[in-house]
Structure 1
């Protein structure tokens, strides 16, 4: 089984919407986050005087389906945040509503470390494609010894682990995890990736067939699946998602008037996946059917819950 992780969260002022710190056991990193309205309190914290990387996060006015993010580094994060708090005319940034900064508890992060880490973070955010980056350019920083590069790669993975816990999803990889067979085939690795049976969704009238699978709590539409070429339903939040995936090349024209998924893509729910395939809102729990038995996604999930509840009852 996959090993669990322990993350310690602390509400600095005792409220869920105030300042928050986070730490992972056996990791030297320290995370501090809070809303822009609490910036005057945040910059007084000792962490803000250290060397670190930070994220400014806010809505994207042109794309409600994703946040806008600026990734930066400084050897005095508090000073940089004060500069960013100015108006656009004064050289600041107006878009952001939340800030998250990562420093080191042992204060061993140097300017060279955070410049390299900033480069990795921007590269990762661009690769994942879950946000609109506010950074104008990315500078590839390679002036770091090999051992330090390995340390920063580990540091990056811890950041990617803790950020979703705090509600920041923009570094979470949208690619599909390796299958159970692949994971168990690795020497010395006994991890287990929970993977559902394959599901199929069909729209016979339009000649559409799509395939999906739930892995690690996300519903993936699989590469090669077909989808409606345009949104045909009433205006909805999923309509912007449909447009976004077309713009990003996640789906592309297949030559038959339909779109095809160019890669596996993760959706937050089977209904979001079904909406993308059908070009209208859809109940994914009913639309997706098991490829082997014809059982709906909802029926399959209910069966899992019933089996788990029955097993608990037997044990007690």
Structure 2
């Protein structure tokens, strides 16, 4: 890992509209486009370059969704998606500035990004079929793998973590991950750790078998949704690593009650997250 320099151009000073991102010494270009501004994006000279695109939205249970696609003419394909039901609000398009990507290249990229999203498990994938992996030369594959790494970095920087593994710790990768534990009433027994964008509860962690009357309705709904979608099975056990937006949200789901995660999650020595944060700030 080494430092990167990102150039970002925010059109008309509106961060919720269109943003263009580039990396130094890379021929790729990433656009973030609000659905309502797709027409403005289409007027750009490179809008119909060959590339891949991601459509981001929410499903009926408010879970993040992504559709992963490719096109020889990106803008024309995105216009077709305006006829879709309102499952997407924002789009990210990834092209090469010199328009050297061909159909085989973007089919390769589409498949790789689909599998990255699948393995990450952060977003619900809307695609009805698995994209076909095209055959490319050894030279092209090396180039495309680097293209993927750079595109992932920019997509992540724009706030969409669909392709980032949730097991990645927030501290330096060369350091051991600090594990935190909860053992509480009604069978709660969980292990988790802090990541840059929240708190991960590890697979095989067990949540409390019931909730307290004082637990907020929104937290109860979250527990119900995790049980219904298979993230937590009928034995109250996490079937996979799952990322929450905060330690408190994770603790509440695990303990079946309102909770302050910075106090409830503790290391094997009994140190809380709050104590660690305070010691680091001194």
Distance 1:300 1:23 in 2: 37
Q: Would the aligned equivalents of 2:105 and 2:134 in 1 still touch at CA under 8 Å?
A: no
Distance 1:154 1:240 in 2: 41
TM-score w.r.t. length of structure 2: 0.88
Q: 1:178 to 1:168 in 2, by over 3 A?
A: closer
User: Which residue does 2:65 correspond to in 1?
Assistant: 68
Match 1:225 to one of 180, 205, 219: 205
Q: CA deviation at 1:113?
A: 0.3
Q: Would the aligned equivalents of 1:176 and 1:220 in 2 still touch at CA under 8 Å?
A: no
- CA offset digits 1:280-314 (Å, max 9, x no partner): 3311011112321x2321121111111xxxxxxxx
Distance 2:113 2:207 in 1: 32
Q: Would the aligned equivalents of 2:204 and 2:238 in 1 still touch at CA under 8 Å?
A: yes
Q: CA deviation at 1:141?
A: 2.0
Q: 1:149 to 1:177 in 2, by over 3 A?
A: farther
User: Which residue does 1:267 correspond to in 2?
Assistant: 244
User: Which residue does 1:109 correspond to in 2?
Assistant: 101
Q: 1:107 to 1:220 in 2, by over 3 A?
A: same
Q: Would the aligned equivalents of 2:227 and 2:234 in 1 still touch at CA under 8 Å?
A: no
Q: 1:108 to 1:69 in 2, by over 3 A?
A: same
User: Which residue does 2:75 correspond to in 1?
Assistant: 78
Q: Gaps spanning 5+ residues in structure 1: where?
A: 87-91, 181-190, 307-316
Distance 2:257 2:49 in 1: 49
Name the larger-Rg structure. Answer: 1
Q: Would the aligned equivalents of 2:104 and 2:134 in 1 still touch at CA under 8 Å?
A: no
Distance 1:131 1:45 in 2: 30
- The SS at the match of 1:261 is coil
- The SS at the match of 2:217 is coil
- The SS at the match of 1:277 is helix
User: Which residue does 1:17 correspond to in 2?
Assistant: 16
Q: Would the aligned equivalents of 1:30 and 1:104 in 2 still touch at CA under 8 Å?
A: yes
- CA offset digits 1:225-269 (Å, max 9, x no partner): 321245553311x44443444345443344xxxx23344433332
User: Which residue does 1:210 correspond to in 2?
Assistant: 190
Q: CA deviation at 1:97?
A: 1.3
Q: CA deviation at 1:103?
A: 0.1
- The SS at the match of 2:233 is strand
- The SS at the match of 1:219 is strand
In the TM superposition, 1:118-129 aligns within 5 A as 118-129=110-121
Distance 1:166 1:231 in 2: 37
User: Which residue does 2:181 correspond to in 1?
Assistant: 200
User: Which residue does 2:56 correspond to in 1?
Assistant: 57
1:278 aligns with 2:258: no
- Over aligned residue pairs, what C-alpha RMSD do you find? 2.5
Q: Gaps spanning 5+ residues in structure 2: where?
A: none
User: Which residue does 1:288 correspond to in 2?
Assistant: 265
User: Which residue does 2:151 correspond to in 1?
Assistant: 159
- The SS at the match of 2:237 is strand
User: Which residue does 1:185 correspond to in 2?
Assistant: none
Distance 2:25 2:246 in 1: 33
Distance 2:259 2:30 in 1: 39
Q: CA deviation at 1:79?
A: 0.9
- Number of residue pairs the alignment of both structures matches: 280
- CA offset digits 1:150-170 (Å, max 9, x no partner): 322222222222212112122
In the TM superposition, 1:241-252 aligns within 5 A as 241-252=222-233
